[in-house]
């Protein structure tokens, strides 16, 4: 008689699953690790430079005589420039390589951040923020393309999620820089700190290898004109337009919300804010930053497990529900409780776009298409900070945040129109 089959204990399968989650980092190649560190460092320091403006916005409004509308308009200008930069650096990355374009983008936003500290007028500051936006758009495009092409399909969303999560770390670093530098040296010195990311370029040039997929594609790649024509192929055109609109809605909600949250927390109550001190505002933002980091990082694990589209939609729907609640909350302790949740869902969805976009487009136009879709979406969302500034002036932040919730909802509905790309290999 055959021996009876013995079923494994109930915890065997979950234990193997957990072991798999713990073992995958040990299987990474040197190229995979270094591409992630390069893209993550660039994105983290990009976030720091961008966030420095929001953190000192109240002081800029006072010293340069800016209104709320003008303060929002300058940030909208940065976002508009990022659309141009994303397209330009994406095109450059498809021509000369991912790492070279990545280094160039980091240099641009670092130098521009330092130049902001020399600005004497609103116009001068606007020019510097525009140049910074060019590098900001280029860094995401080049870093995401490098990581997507270096990592295998089963871990690609995790890697891109971890890269995206460094944005939250950069914002936390910015909050720390402002807390240390602003009271002692003023807002100009805060911007001078933004030059430091340029040092990362030396390490990337020496130690980060170029994408092998891009290298192999060089031999068969046609001219830039024929490559760009591929974007208008019927299947790519439809998905590209939907992805761009989806991204525009999601980023309208994000930029409108997180550009103004520092001022929303710190402005006096009579001006529509919540009247928190600098120390409390910094603490609240750091706690939100932790929520952002978790949202970005965990999205990649969800997306590799259950799919990119399902995770993206879930994040945006929860964000649409939480943002209006945050906008009408007055009690500081409840703002502290809700903040990490708003940050988790209202930013974590970003990790999904890089995975979705990298898997929608072929190698010869991947960086160009990702840069175009992501940054045109960001350009279309550039009106968000200005819109929130105008609505907050007229109707209060609560009404302005309702508009942002509607944008998150629209992004979730558009995501349902895209195909699921989980597990798709890159040629």
The answer to whether 383 touches 80, Cβ cutoff 8 Å, is no
Can you tell me the distance from the alpha carbon of 139 to that of 355, in angstroms, rounded to the nearest whole number?
A: 16
The answer to whether 331 touches 275, Cβ cutoff 8 Å, is no
| Confidence tier at 223 by pLDDT (50, 70, 90) | very low
Question: How does pLDDT run across 304-337, given as a tens digit for each residue?
Answer: 888 888 899 999 999 999 998 888 888 888 888 8
DSSP string, 4-61: PPPPPPTTHHHHHHHHHHHHGGGG--HHHHHHHHHHHHHHHHHHHHHHHHHHTHHHHH
Question: How does pLDDT run across 78-128, given as a tens digit for each residue?
Answer: 878 887 888 788 778 878 888 888 889 888 988 898 898 888 888 888 898
Can you tell me the distance from the alpha carbon of 309 to that of 293, in angstroms, rounded to the nearest whole number?
A: 20
pLDDT at 407: 93
The answer to whether 372 touches 90, Cβ cutoff 8 Å, is yes
pLDDT at 21: 52
Residue that has been written with the tokens 């939907």 in this structure: 242
The answer to whether 59 touches 187, Cβ cutoff 8 Å, is yes
27: Cα within 13 Å, side-chain hemisphere: 10
Domain ranges across the chain: 29-205+232-415
Question: How does pLDDT run across 134-171, given as a tens digit for each residue?
Answer: 888 888 788 888 888 888 877 888 888 888 888 878 88
The answer to whether 58 touches 267, Cβ cutoff 8 Å, is yes
DSSP string, 352-374: HHHHHHHHHS-GGGHHHHHHHHH
Structure tokens at 12: 């065997």
Sorted by sequence, the CB contacts under 8 Å of residue 285 that are 6+ apart come out as 55, 171, 172, 175, 261, 262, 265
The answer to whether 328 touches 208, Cβ cutoff 8 Å, is no
Give this prediction's pTM.
0.71
Q: Tell me, which fold does domain 29-205+232-415 have in CATH?
A: Growth Hormone; Chain: A; (1.20.1250)
Can you tell me the distance from the alpha carbon of 301 to that of 210, in angstroms, rounded to the nearest whole number?
A: 26
């Amino acid at each position: 008689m055959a021996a009876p089959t013995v079923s494994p204990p109930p915890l065997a399968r979950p234990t193997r699953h957990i072991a798999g989650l713990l073992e995958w980092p040990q299987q990474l190649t040197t190229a995979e690790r270094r591409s992630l560190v390069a893209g993550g460092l660039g994105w983290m320091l990009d976030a720091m430079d961008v966030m420095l403006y929001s953190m000192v916005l109240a002081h800029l409004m006072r010293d340069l005589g800016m209104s709320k509308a003008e303060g929002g308009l300058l940030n909208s200008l940065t976002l508009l420039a990022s659309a141009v930069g994303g397209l330009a650096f994406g095109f450059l990355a498809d021509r000369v390589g991912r790492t070279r374009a990545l280094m160039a983008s980091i240099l641009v936003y670092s130098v521009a951040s330092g130049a902001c500290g020399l600005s004497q007028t609103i116009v001068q500051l606007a020019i510097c923020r525009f140049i910074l936006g060019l590098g900001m758009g280029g860094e995401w495009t080049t870093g995401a393309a490098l990581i997507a092409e270096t990592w295998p399909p089963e871990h690609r969303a995790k890697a891109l999620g971890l890269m995206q999560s460094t944005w939250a770390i950069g914002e936390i670093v910015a909050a720390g820089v402002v807390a240390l530098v602003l009271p002692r040296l003023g807002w100009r010195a805060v911007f001078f700190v933004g030059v430091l990311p340029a040092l990362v370029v030396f390490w990337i040039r020496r130690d980060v290898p170029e994408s092998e997929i891009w290298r192999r594609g060089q031999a068969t790649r046609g001219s830039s004109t024929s490559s760009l024509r591929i974007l208008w192929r019927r299947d790519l055109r439809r998905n590209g337009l939907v992805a761009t609109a989806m991204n525009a809605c999601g980023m309208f909600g994000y930029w409108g919300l997180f550009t103004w949250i520092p001022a929303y927390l710190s402005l006096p109550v009579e001006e529509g804010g919540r009247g928190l001190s600098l120390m409390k505002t910094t603490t609240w933002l750091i706690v939100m930053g932790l929520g952002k980091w978790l949202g970005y990082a965990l999205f990649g694990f969800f997306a590799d497990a259950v799919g990119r589209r399902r995770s993206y939609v879930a994040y945006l729907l929860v964000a649409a529900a939480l943002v209006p609640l945050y906008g009408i909350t007055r009690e500081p302790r409840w703002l502290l409780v809700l903040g990490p949740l708003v940050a988790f869902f209202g930013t974590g969805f970003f990790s999904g776009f890089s995975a979705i976009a990298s898997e929608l487009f072929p190698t010869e136009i991947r960086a160009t298409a990702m840069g175009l879709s992501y940054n045109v979406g960001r350009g279309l969302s550039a009106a968000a900070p200005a819109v929130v500034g105008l609505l907050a002036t007229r109707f209060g932040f609560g009404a302005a945040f309702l508009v942002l919730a509607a944008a998150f909802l629209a992004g979730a509905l558009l995501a349902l129109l895209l195909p699921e790309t989980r597990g798709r290999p890159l040629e």
